[in-house]
């Protein structure tokens, strides 16, 4: 049985990445639009949890929300929750400039995902750590992809295919966790019927 869930995002790259993951679970992903969710929270997890509940009220169907950020060690975790703003304002060049004199270029991408449906909300988190390269490389992906290389890899995210990025990414981890719990819950519900 193919299940369908909808994903709230304005980012087509994210949609492609997440679609490739849902296909592995035999789930069809649809893009859904809801009024802009202005949710505040202390963590990515709190934000996606609240956003998924709101999105469920608008869509009345299983709905997935995901939020991510880049946490740079030498900058005490900055830009973290401000990643989107920092990308739009100072961009890759600005971040590289902030790291010009840094000896430690370690950074982690973190992602939180939440799926709201008629039985509640399922959440999951994912992380991938690596380092910020000195010069941007690659043309694929989005955001900070051209300046981030995961540990154990030679390529930046922007030099990887969708499948390669999904093998290690923060988003692939959080979303896969949520989907496996969802399938498990759905199967338990069926066997109790």
| Residue 70 contacts ligand IMP per CB under 6 A | yes
Give the residue among 130, 165, 144 at the shortest CA–CA distance from 18. Answer: 165
Contact call for residues 122 and 114 (beta carbons, < 8 A): yes
For ligand IMP, the closer CB: 74 or 90: 90
Contact range with ligand IMP by CB under 6 A, out of 25-33, 34-42, 61-69, 96-104: 61-69
- Considering only residues 69, 124, 136, 150, which one is a binding residue for ligand IMP as defined by CB under 6 A? 69
Applying CB under 6 A, the site for ligand IMP has a residue count of 16
Footprint of ligand IMP on 120-159 (CB under 6 A): 141-145, 157
On the 0-12 / 13-18 / 19+ scale of CB atoms within 10 A, 66 is buried
For the chain, the first-to-last Cα distance in angstroms comes to: 17
Give the residue among 157, 45, 153 at the shortest CA–CA distance from 92. Answer: 157
User: Which chain residues interact with ligand IMP by CB under 6 A?
Assistant: 11, 67-70, 83-84, 87, 109, 141-145, 157, 171
């Amino acid at each position: 049985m193919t299940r369908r869930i909808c994903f709230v995002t304005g980012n087509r790259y994210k949609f492609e990445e997440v679609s490739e993951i849902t296909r592995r679970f035999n789930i069809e992903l649809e893009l859904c639009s809801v009024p802009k969710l202005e949710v505040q929270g202390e963590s990515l997890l709190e934000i996606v949890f609240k956003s998924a509940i709101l999105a469920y009220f608008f869509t009345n169907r299983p709905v997935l929300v995901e939020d991510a950020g880049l946490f740079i060690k030498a900058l005490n975790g900055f830009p973290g929750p401000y990643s989107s703003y920092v990308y739009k304002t100072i961009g890759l060049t600005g971040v590289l400039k902030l790291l010009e004199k840094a000896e430690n270029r370690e950074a982690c991408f973190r992602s939180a995902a939440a799926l709201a449906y008629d039985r509640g909300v399922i959440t999951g988190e994912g992380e991938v750590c690596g380092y910020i390269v000195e010069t941007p490389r690659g043309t694929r992906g989005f955001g900070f992809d051209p300046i981030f290389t995961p540990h154990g890899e030679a390529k930046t995210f922007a030099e990887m295919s969708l499948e390669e990025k999904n093998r290690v990414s923060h988003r692939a981890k959080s979303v896969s966790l949520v989907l496996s719990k969802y399938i498990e819950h759905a199967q338990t519900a069926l066997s109790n019927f």
